[in-house]
Structure 1
């Protein structure tokens, strides 16, 4: 059945006044009396004894590093705003309402979500590690590829049969997403609007929220998407504690390179077709990661914010041929000779000739699946420590026991 027919059926079953953009299956959630001065957010239940004037969110979060997210609190709702760093023409407002309490006034374009949500689906594997850290893997009902997770708790839930596979390309995802019946679907946000499906999902009643952690300008801004997920399940206190530890460790590592005068050139990316290279922009969080590790990204002058940017081979060769380090090679190569056999032009780069090529694919399990894909969003401090070992091992206080994300091609 096409998603267009699904949309028609949904509109037919909606009662008069039902908004198909916000329609979802009614679910029975427990409701508790919380009194006049709740000491913590409601992690599992709705409010059974609503009183105007009571603050139902005594534990709150804010965004300090993210370029794209902001949140304001009311007594019984949170007004979350998303403004893409690459497509400022698409702002989005989401009102998160404590279930069991009234929905505040809002514009017709606003999405309304009852929290805490109970059923979560995601088309972006980056959120799987965050779900594990917040202890909400038991709410996952759909992920992009059930064979890809490296997070152990997610793998166990897949094995239990509780997770739908949402594999597909663009609009072919819509029917399996609807079948999973999520309260919220986190949709990978592309810098190319034609590849985004959250508008179509919203039209058929799926509360689809764009997820754009990869488009942040700072690794800590990317890590703050942990708080974005926490807002959906009222776990701000837990997210605040975890983020504070992440921030502390990241800034501690970054301080080691703050006064460096000698910063080696670093090229990145991989061939993506005849005569082209896939890289990331000079304003992307991965470029900042290289800078904080004491390197100089060869495309740092690029004003692009995207995480997937196409450039010509000639351009990357001009900028990166002399770079002594190559980070972020295509994942999955068993060795540097195998990579060079597949891409002979890569021999023209100094880093390849001298054997300093690294991929973010430690623990690779195939089909682009590795801990980097589903665990690195909330572990920028670990990534930074590993890159510091690559670029400036003399600055690292102690050798890392083993790498989690970065692998040198043998």
Structure 2
């Protein structure tokens, strides 16, 4: 497949004088840089993410990424307002001119936030154009403006290089040998690892939308969007706290003959179950991993009688198909009583459903839907759910 780089026009440069801009420049460069002028009057900070930090200079931002998984690296990125000088930095610190014009993502989780921030017109590549569900992104794909990056490790290096992105958001694996960003840096691609899936709290995951805001100087919009998410999440959490009992909740699915693919008790999905008024059957597991393979016997001993199964294998039309996929699914009480749910509403095939590319910035919706399943008297199920589906 041949990919030609899309045409590019530089941002217009504007003269701002000694006063500086009244708002961050999201479509302009600086024509008359002056030392000491604050070119980012609208700032942000990370309050819930366990992995991201940002500090501001007058015309630059330093973003630090400290993964929660034990890969042994701490990364820093220098974001410099275009039209201003690059400050001193370490030899291995990638420098990115902001606001960026051209983004490629190797992890579809950011696509919903991209739409909510009004930045879809800056997307030029995605890990798979076939599995996107965000309407505005789908329209851009149909116009031929988004290139398919699919390949090993959520993207192929050659198409990423061909599109010539200002930033490539690369999927961050807990296994260092699976990460592409070191090689991409060597090839001149400004790759930033995306690790929202390694956050410890659903709100920490949602706060990754602020990374997009930082790259495009849209901090004010990012702050407003995130503050609304937090307010709604805390509202639903307070309602769930009124529950008189906490039902035990099974999650994950049988993988092969003797293991269950699930997540640790400190993972963000376990926190979502807790905040929804449930008790995750592996809550005593102190791992934060988003992908944990547990011996089937251990999970069965803890979850066999759990009344609710919240989050199972997606893409199965009903419980009969779920059991056909692996007979071990039929051993659990929730399967027999019909209280099995998957986060796959709107599924159209291999990884294509709204939860995959829209749920990152909507933990409040995920929480509300979970509460409606665990505590219907407190929150009756809405007429239509956005992400959650009960298997008939």
Confirm or deny a common fold (TM above 0.5).
yes
Q: What whole-Å deviation, never above 9, does each CA across 1:107-135 have from its counterpart, x for those lacking one?
A: 11211111000000001101000110111
Please identify, of 297-306 and 386-395, the stretch whose mean Cα deviation from structure 2 is larger.
Answer: 297-306
- In structure 2, the partner of 1:17 is none
Correspondence for 1:93:
76
Query: Which residue in 2 is equivalent to 1:392?
Result: 375
Q: CA deviation at 1:328?
A: 1.3
TM-score (norm 2): 0.96
1:406 aligns with 2:383: no
Select the residue among 29, 38, 58 that pairs with 1:55. Answer: 38
* Consecutive unaligned residues in structure 2, runs of 5 or more: 2-6
The answer as to whether partners of 1:171 and 1:197 remain within 8 angstroms in 2 is no
Corresponding position: 1:168 with 2:151: yes
Q: CA deviation at 1:399?
A: 4.2
- Asked if 1:65 corresponds to 2:55, the answer is no
| Residue 254 (structure 1) aligns with | 237
Match of 1:304 in 2: 287
Q: Residue 202 of structure 2: which of 219, 235, 243 is its match? A: 219
User: 1:21-71 deviations in whole A, cap 9, x for unaligned?
Assistant: xxxx99633211123221100001111110101000000000100000010
* Cα distance in 1 for residues equivalent to 2:273 and 2:155: 36
In the TM superposition, residue 272 of structure 1 has moved relative to its aligned partner by: 2.2
Encode CA deviations 1:384-403: one digit per residue, 9 max, x unaligned. 0000000001112x542310
Unpaired runs of 5+ in structure 1?
2-24
1-structure distance, mates of 2:70, 2:244: 35
Give, in whole Å, the separation in 2 of the partners of 1:182 and 1:142: 8
Hey, what's the Cα distance between the residues in 2 that align with 1:227 and 1:409? 35
* Count of paired positions: 386
Q: CA RMSD in A?
A: 1.6
In the alignment, structure 1 residue 373 sits paired with structure 2 residue 356: yes
Residues 352-383 of structure 1 show CA distances to partners (whole Å, capped at 9, x for unaligned) of: 11111100000111111111001000000000
- After superposition, the C-alpha distances for 1:182-237 in whole angstroms (9 at most, x for unaligned) are 11000111111111111111111110000011111111111100101110000000
Q: Name 2:4's counterpart in structure 1.
A: none
| Segments of 4+ moved more than 6 angstroms | none
Q: Quick check: 1:178–1:206 contact (8 Å CA) kept in 2?
A: yes
Task: Pick the aligned partner of 2:111 from 101, 119, 128.
Answer: 128
- Among 17, 31, 36, which residue is 1:35 paired with? 17
The aligned counterpart of 2:212 is: 229
Greater CA deviation, 298-307 or 130-139? 298-307
Partner of 1:326: 309
Match 1:263 to one of 231, 239, 246: 246
1:281, 1:287 within 8 Å by CA — same for their partners in 2?
Answer: yes
Q: Give the aligned partner of residue 8 of structure 1.
A: none
Kept after mapping to 1: 8 A contact 2:256/2:326: no
Which residue of 202, 211, 223 maps to 1:240?
223
Aligned residue in 2 for 1:210: 193
> What is the distance in 2 between the residues matched to 1:373 and 1:402?
18
Quick one: which of 344, 357, 367 aligns to 2:327? 344
Q: Identify which of 266, 277, 294 aligns with 1:283.
A: 266
- Asked if 1 retains the 8 angstrom alpha-carbon contact of 2:127 and 2:155, the reply is no
Residue 277 of structure 1 aligns to a residue whose secondary structure is strand
Query: Do the aligned partners of 2:134 and 2:354 also contact (CA within 8 Å) in 1?
Result: yes
Quick one: distance in 2 between partners of 1:36 and 1:318? 68
Describe how 1:184-195 pairs up with structure 2 within 5 A.
Answer: 184-195=167-178
**Partner Cα distance (2:363, 2:210) in 1:** 15
SS of residue matched to 2:156: helix
Match of 1:81 among 50, 53, 64: 64
Matched, 1:313 2:296: yes
**Match for residue 196 of structure 1 among 168, 175, 179:** 179
Identify the match of residue 336 of structure 2 among 353, 360, 368: 353
Task: Write the distance in 1 (CA, Å) between the matches of 2:189 and 2:300.
Answer: 45
Match of 1:228, SS state, is helix
